[in-house]
Every structure is written in C-alpha cells, then in structure tokens.
C-alpha cells in the first residue's frame, strides 16, 4: 500500500473514531464520501455493514468483510484501526472538517485544470467556450468560498444556530470540554481554552510568567492536548533546559552546569529516559523564530492541523507582543493602534482555524513607584488592569487576562537582609483581571524557581476576589 500521507492519517483517525463509536455512522457530520482513499472507504462501509447486520465488531470480522471487497487491505492495517487506544470520538468534527476542506480544494483544482485545458485547446473564445469557462470558474469559486455548518462565516437561521449549539452541548456530558490541565487556571477560567478564543498572561519580570507558561505547555504535553509553543523571547536550548528541570525536578543550574562527570552522567541517564516519552509525542511543535508574523503563524498552524488530522490545538505565544504585527507600525498609526490591529488579527485567526491561543505580555512599571517602608507595602505592587502595557486592546480583545504577582520577589529587593521577613513561602498569586464569562477571583501557587515549578496551594488566605 502507498505511503501514508496527512490526509490518509486523517482518514485512518476517522475510521478509528467510527470503530470506537459506530453510532457516528448516523451522525449528520459523517458520510463515506468524505474518504478520498478507496481502501478507507471500503473499511468504513464494512464497519457499517457489520453494524447493520448485527455482526460482532472484531478485528477478524472487519478484516474478512473488508478484504472480501479489496484484497489490498491487510490484517495489520485493520489492527491499526481496531486495536488503537488513541481515539475517543471527541475530535470527529475536526477530522471531518480537514477532509471536507481537502476534498473542496481538490475539486477546485480540478475545475482550474479544466479551465487551463479549455483555453489551450481553443484559440477563439466562442460563446459556448466562454460559457464553459464561466461555469468552471463559478464551480471553482464555490468550492473555495463554501463553508460547512461549523464555520463562523456561515449565516445561520435560529434553527441551524440551535442545532449547532446542541451538537456541542452533547459533548459536555461529563462536564467542561476544554482543559488547561492546570488546576488553578481550570478553576479560574470558566470556559477553559475553548477554540476560536484567546487569553493573556501578564506580569512584571521575575513574577513567574515564563514558569507558568512552561507549566501549561508541560501539562498539554502530558495530557495529549495538541500544542504549538512559539518561544519568541527565549531560545530553544535554554527552554528545553527549563522543560527538563521541570519534568525531572532537577535544579536548572545542575542541568546547565553539571558539577562533575558523575553528575552529568546521572542527569543524562534521566534525560534519556524522559526523551523516550517526549520524542514519541506527535501532538507538539516548538518554534523559536523571533521574526514570526500572524501570517507565518497561520501557515504553521494549518500545516500542524493537517499533520495531526484535527483542527483544535492550543497555540502558546511567549511573548505575543514580539510578533511582527504587534511591533511594526504603519504610517499614521501609533503603537496602541498597531497592537489593536494585531490582536484583532489573532482573534480572527483563532476563529478561522478553530484554535485557542495563550499569549504573554509585560506590564508597565507604573505601580512600582510607590515607596516601601513596611513589608506589607509591596502588596501595592499587585498588577491592575491599567498596567497592561501599551494598549488596552489586549485587555479588551482577549477572553480572559490573568496576572501573576510574587510578593517575595519584592521582599528580596527591599528587605533581603531581614531573615524574619524573608522566612516566608514564595507564593505566586494568579489573578483574573478580566474574563468575559466569569468572576475575577485570585488563587495562589507555591513557586520554585530552581526547577521552574509551581504547585497549587488550595485555600490560601490571600485568595479572594479582585479589588481594583
């Protein structure tokens, strides 16, 4: 059988979903016309036949039914569908969308090829030739512009809108659909990292922003949630150093500067074991390009979606304000207007591609001009909404904005020699500055800068609602 391409990967994933849940055969989203590969279409029809005939679904029964109609189908191929444990049926909409988009693209290309053929064969454009060209132009344009029922561009009736909502609501049987896999943010952000939306993490330097980003990325890796990490500020090697420090709970300084050969070899042994886990994760991509634009992001995300066979993924941008669209001013526009246009592009991109983005941004230092004479004075440095740097558009356009604050960071600056003052836990406060569909509470995590770790601290006395 020919080498498997990204579209066949999507087709195989759809077959695994059908095998795991044959009821999807009756879904309005599904049709065997979705399959481009004849062997995949044969297998889908075989699953349908076995289900409707009441035949028990086993590897043997599916192989016999499929091979009867296509001798090229092997038992190993069938086992890759029936014995896979990676599909749960939750991503069928994403897979279907990828296949529909591909088939529409192929149809549009067929019409364009026909247009080229007609032009090459006809030196004179008779009315009949013009009509044939027009029909193919219209057909190609229809395939390019057509949108399925899940597209945000579609104009819907109330019934279609309600049907779309109900399909989504069915998937909430076991609760919230989208998770950060991070206890504090899962508690604070009501909707979770939902597709078509974005959020923002903001803080001053030294507050634990990069550590929080790394914790989120690590959580997505562990949970098998598709994730792209664009580290626009920090390079690939130190970022991987930090990831290993977090996962192995080895101090970052030991990884960067092993004390001796014995330490080096001990760390290497742990790293090699950990890489066996990381290297086999197909649902993650990393980029350190500091000159990336929103257009570059779009191309990279679409490629990633095609490779994994689904639309939904989380795109982490550290720092979002380093994206070229955020820093390249156009004639007549100031920085606030430039940032507003850029964040609007990001929101449009998230809706168009069905992804969720998490950006990070620096706060301005307006709140740090307060004099400090007492340890409790540093609490006045807690972030507020008006400190979101350069543009209020970041605050307004994102669905949620979370700030980070470390009291001990400031205590070290002002009272570093006072052992009594410094004898306290290093706590990061995560504060919802804004979210569209929820309150603005505050929660806390214990901070460990040596391993770039943050640990949930429930029921902390500093927890509460935001008071700006």
* Domains detected in the chain: 6-82 (no CATH), 101-170 (no CATH), 183-465 (3.40.50.300)
Strand 464-465 relative to strand 441-448: parallel, antiparallel, unpaired? Answer: antiparallel
Identify whether the C-beta of residue 50 lies closer than 8 Å to the C-beta of residue 25: no
Lowest-pLDDT range of 94-103, 106-115, 380-389: 94-103
* pLDDT higher than threshold 90 for residue 17: no
pLDDT, mean of residues 282-308: 90
The pLDDT, as a whole number, for residue 1 is 46
**What is the rounded CA–CA span in Å between residue 428 and residue 447?**
6
Identify whether the C-beta of residue 34 lies closer than 8 Å to the C-beta of residue 18: no
Identify whether the C-beta of residue 317 lies closer than 8 Å to the C-beta of residue 357: yes
**What is the rounded CA–CA span in Å between residue 18 and residue 31?**
11
The pLDDT, as a whole number, for residue 65 is 92
Per residue, what are the HEC states of 347-358? Answer: HHHHHHHCCEEE
Residue 266, token pair as written in the block:
């001990």
Where does the pLDDT of residue 163 fall: very low under 50, low under 70, confident under 90, or very high at 90 and above?
confident
Task: List Cα–Cα distances, 194 to 176, 177, 204, 356, 400, in angstroms.
Answer: 10, 8, 26, 6, 11
The pLDDT, as a whole number, for residue 2 is 47
pLDDT, mean of residues 352-357: 93
pLDDT digits (tens, 9 = 90+) for 206-241: 898 999 999 999 999 999 999 999 999 889 999 999
Query: Can you say how many angstroms the Cα of residue 404 is from the centroid of all Cα atoms in its chain?
Result: 22
**What is the rounded CA–CA span in Å between residue 18 and residue 308?**
17
Which residue has better confidence, 1 or 288?
288
The single-letter DSSP state of residue 4 is P
pLDDT, mean of residues 328-335: 78
Inter-helix orientation angle 127-145/92-121, to 10°: 160
Lowest-pLDDT range of 100-109, 183-192, 295-304, 306-315: 100-109
**What is the rounded CA–CA span in Å between residue 274 and residue 247?**
8
What mean pLDDT value characterizes the chain? 85
SS3 179: coil
Which residue has better confidence, 358 or 145?
358
**What is the rounded CA–CA span in Å between residue 397 and residue 174?**
30
**What is the rounded CA–CA span in Å between residue 224 and residue 86?**
9
The pLDDT, as a whole number, for residue 366 is 63
Lowest-pLDDT range of 12-26, 65-79, 302-316: 12-26
- Go through 82-115 and write b for each residue having 16 or more CB atoms within 10 A of its CB, e for each that does not: beeeebeeebbbbbbbbbbbbbbeebbeebbebb
User: What is the four-CA torsion angle of 46, 50, 51, 54, rounded to 10 degrees?
Assistant: 170
Where does the pLDDT of residue 111 fall: very low under 50, low under 70, confident under 90, or very high at 90 and above?
confident
Place of tokens 């001053």: 204
Identify whether the C-beta of residue 14 lies closer than 8 Å to the C-beta of residue 95: yes
pLDDT, mean of residues 342-352: 91
The pLDDT, as a whole number, for residue 390 is 59
pLDDT, mean of residues 154-181: 80
* pLDDT higher than threshold 90 for residue 197: yes
- Give the count of beta carbons closer than 10 Å to the beta carbon of residue 73: 22
Identify whether the C-beta of residue 204 lies closer than 8 Å to the C-beta of residue 368: yes
Largest CA distance in the chain: 93
The pLDDT, as a whole number, for residue 468 is 45
The pLDDT, as a whole number, for residue 258 is 93
User: What does pTM read for this prediction?
Assistant: 0.67
- Give the count of beta carbons closer than 10 Å to the beta carbon of residue 51: 15
Which residue has better confidence, 167 or 198?
198
| Percentage above 90 pLDDT, the chain | 39
pLDDT, mean of residues 366-386: 81
Identify whether the C-beta of residue 137 lies closer than 8 Å to the C-beta of residue 155: no
């Amino acid at each position: 059988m020919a080498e498997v391409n990204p579209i066949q990967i999507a087709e195989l994933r759809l077959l695994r979903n059908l095998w795991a849940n044959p009821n999807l055969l009756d879904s309005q989203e599904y049709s065997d016309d979705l399959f481009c590969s004849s062997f995949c279409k044969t297998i889908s029809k075989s699953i349908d036949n076995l289900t409707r005939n009441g035949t028990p679904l086993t590897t043997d029964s599916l192989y016999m039914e499929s091979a009867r109609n296509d001798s090229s189908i092997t038992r190993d191929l069938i086992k890759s569908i029936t014995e896979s444990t990676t599909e749960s049926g939750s991503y069928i909409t994403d897979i279907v969308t990828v296949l529909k988009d591909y088939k529409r693209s192929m149809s549009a290309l067929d019409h364009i090829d026909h247009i080229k053929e007609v032009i090459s064969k006809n030196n004179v454009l008779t009315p009949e030739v013009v009509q044939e060209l027009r029909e193919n132009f219209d057909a190609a344009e229809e395939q390019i512009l057509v949108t399925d029922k899940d597209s945000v561009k579609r104009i819907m009736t109330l019934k279609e809108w309600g049907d779309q909502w109900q399909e989504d609501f069915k998937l909430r049987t076991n609760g919230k659909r989208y998770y950060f896999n991070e206890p504090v943010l899962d508690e604070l952000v009501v909707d979770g990292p939902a597709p078509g939306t974005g959020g923002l993490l903001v803080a001053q330097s030294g507050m634990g922003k990069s550590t929080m980003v790394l914790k989120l990325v690590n959580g997505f890796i562990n949970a098998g949630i598709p994730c792209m990490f664009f580290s626009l500020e920090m390079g690939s090697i130190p970022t991987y150093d930090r990831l290993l420090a977090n996962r192995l709970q080895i101090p970052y300084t030991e990884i960067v500067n092993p004390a001796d050969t014995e330490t080096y070899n001990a760390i290497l042994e742990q790293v090699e074991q950990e890489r066996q886990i990381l290297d086999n994760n197909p649902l993650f991509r990393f980029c350190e390009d500091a000159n990336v634009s929103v257009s570059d992001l779009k191309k990279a995300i679409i490629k990633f979606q095609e490779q994994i066979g689904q639309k939904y993924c989380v795109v982490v941008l550290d720092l979002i304000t380093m994206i070229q669209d955020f820093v390249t001013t156009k004639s007549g526009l100031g920085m606030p207007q430039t940032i507003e246009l850029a964040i609007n592009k990001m929101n449009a991109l998230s809706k168009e591609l069905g992804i969720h983005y998490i950006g990070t941004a620096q706060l301005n230092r307006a709140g740090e001009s307060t004099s400090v004479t007492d340890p409790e004075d540093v609490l006045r440095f807690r972030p507020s909404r008006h400190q979101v740097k350069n543009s209020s558009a970041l605050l307004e356009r994102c669905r949620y904005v979370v700030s980070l604050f470390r009291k001990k960071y400031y205590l070290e600056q002002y009272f570093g020699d006072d052992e009594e003052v410094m004898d306290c836990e290093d706590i990061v406060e995560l504060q919802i500055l804004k979210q569209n569909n929820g309150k603005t509470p505050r929660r806390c995590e214990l901070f460990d800068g040596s391993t770039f770790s943050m640990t949930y601290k429930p029921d902390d006395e500093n927890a509460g609602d935001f008071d700006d």
